[in-house]
Amino acid sequence: MITASQIREYLLTNSPWVDQDRTVDQILFGDGDKPAAKVGVCWYPAMDTIVAANGAGCDLVVTHEPLFWRHRPEEKHWWDREPGAAKRRFLQETGMTVLRAHDSWDQWPDVGIRDSWAGFLGFENLTFTLEEHPHVLGIYDVEPQPLRALAQHIADRVAELGEDSVRVMGDPDRIVSRPSLGVGCGCPTAEIVEAGSDVAIVCYDGASYWESRERLFEMDAAVIAVEHGTSEMPGIESLCTHLAEQFPGTEFEYLAEHPCPWTVTGKV
């Protein structure tokens, strides 16, 4: 069996890009040294997700995002307020431990957040990265195609993750061939557009409308937006697979969202 502390040590030891003194990759709840026979891995530890994890027999949940709606774990504003209090009581009653794997997994080469997202979309030809952060943002070369075709391709792919639409800015008939993407909220920036990306694939959390998406659009880049979780779920499934390979004596289960809430309702 494995412990949360051992998983954390493995991830941080192999993440030289992480500031060890300020990382949010911490034990968020429970006993980090408690052995776990089964580990659930999720993008966000919603109440439905941790209930499902407990029902599946998980002693430990490894999550990418925070437990109590604040990025830094020491911020306990919702610890004793609903709905945080109910979540805290449930974890106490079940004895579950929660570990966050965020700063480490964001930039993990090949199977981390960006590279898993790119692979899920079928982007294979990486042609540009930022030298100081090679696994955060990237530009890919794809077959030249109308923006509407690329957007439809992405919409078809993310439908498998529970998102039933994408938001597109730009002339649908414009020919694009250099999409860019990043790690969740680490969305394509002006610097990436200046490097030649003609369509930025962003998430709503990381690219607010007037501050980011509109600015990129006015820089003559098309924009395709998805939900934050959609862009990171392929990477979290990869995290589950990777941890299972590193710790073969422990069972790991990828926890798909319970439920996935980012759907839309059109005219009926």
pLDDT tens for 170-227 read 999 999 999 999 999 999 999 999 999 999 999 999 999 999 999 999 999 999 999 9
Domains 4-105 and 113-230 share a fold: yes
Tokens coding 104: 């480490």
**Full-model pTM:** 0.95
- pLDDT, residue 262, reads 72
Is the pLDDT assigned to residue 257 strictly greater than 80? no
Asked whether the beta carbons of 147 and 198 are under 8 A apart, the reply is no
Q: How far is it, in rounded angstroms, from Cα 11 to Cα 197?
A: 32
Give CA torsion, residues 173, 168, 42, 62, to 10 deg.
100
Q: Which residues contact 241 (CB under 8 A, 6 or more apart)?
A: 111, 252, 254
% of the chain residues with pLDDT over 70: 98
Q: So what's the architecture of 113-230 in CATH?
A: 3-Layer(aba) Sandwich (3.40)
Q: How far is it, in rounded angstroms, from Cα 33 to Cα 36?
A: 9
Tokens coding 249: 């004596």
User: Across residues 76-99, what is the average pLDDT?
Assistant: 95
User: Across residues 95-123, what is the average pLDDT?
Assistant: 97
pLDDT tens for 9-33 read 999 999 999 999 999 999 999 999 9
Mean pLDDT, the chain, integer? 94
Q: How far is it, in rounded angstroms, from Cα 69 to Cα 85?
A: 12
Q: If you ran DSSP here, which 8-state letter would residue 226 be given?
A: E
The confidence band for 268, taking pLDDT boundaries of 50, 70 and 90, is low
Superfamily of domain 4-105, CATH level 4 = NIF3 (NGG1p interacting factor 3)-like (3.40.1390.30)
**For strand 97-100 and strand 27-29, is the pairing parallel, antiparallel, or unpaired?**
antiparallel
The confidence band for 265, taking pLDDT boundaries of 50, 70 and 90, is low
Domain ranges of the chain: 4-105, 113-230
Is the pLDDT assigned to residue 263 strictly greater than 60? yes
More confident residue, 266 or 12: 12
Helix, strand or coil for residue 233?
A: helix
Beta bridge mates, 38? 251
Q: Which residues contact 248 (CB under 8 A, 6 or more apart)?
A: none
Beta bridge mates, 42? 63
Nearest to 98 by CA among 234, 255, 248, 245: 255
Nearest to 233 by CA among 208, 266, 262, 192: 262
- pLDDT, residue 266, reads 63
Helix, strand or coil for residue 24?
A: coil
